[in-house]
Amino acid sequence: MRRGRRPIGARRAAAVAGLALAAAVVLPAGGAAAESGECEWRPHQVRVVKHVKRHGKRVRVVRKRVRWSCVPVAATAPGGEVPATPPAPPPAPPGPTPPEEELSNPHWLGAQAYEFKFEPTKERFEISAGTDTIELINRGQDAHDLHLESLATHATLIAVSPTASGGHNRGTALLEAGEYRLFCSLADHAEKGMERILVVTP
């Protein structure tokens, strides 16, 4: 005796049961919200279109099925908290302020170092001929040094050693009237802008 075909309702019920079983196998322990490594399993519906024969006719059947995908989630710190953004580094401490007697001294000049430039403590890079002192005041984040070179003879007359952020150092030399190249010799600081012309007046 031939068995009759199962009713459509019974076939649909069997399909739903099979889908539920497949979802239970694919879904990690803990349900849809369970996390696995760096992602979280979440359900979403998809449309499935099939063409089947019913009563000798080919018909189009549209069904909705559930699929599971692992969605990336942000890493969390212990305790479930998102790690905070590290704070920005503190600004460089200001260098010393030259006293009034030095600012008015024609044989003293402060060269303030930044990334990547020199700025004078007076109106311009200018000093009187004689026994002169050039003071490096580092107001930047990086270490800087200071060299003074004659444009006429290319001789180095002052060489201030590398000075850390917030520090200051000085060099003294007998300077004749003329023009001198003042620059930082570290790495490529001069090429980036740490180079000025110092004018020594008679």
Domain containing residue 164: 100-201
Residue 196 in domain: yes
Q: What are the structure tokens assigned to 86, written together?
A: 């590290």
Return the amino acid letter for 38: E
In the chain, what percentage of residues exceed pLDDT 90?
A: 49
Overall number of domains in the chain: 1
Given a contact cutoff of 8 angstroms between Cβ atoms, the answer to whether 34 and 40 are in contact is: yes
Residue 105 in domain: yes
Which CATH number characterizes residue 119's domain? 2.60.40.420
pLDDT tens per residue, range 53-91: 777 788 777 777 777 777 777 655 555 565 666 676 666
Residue 53 in domain: no
Residue 64 in domain: no
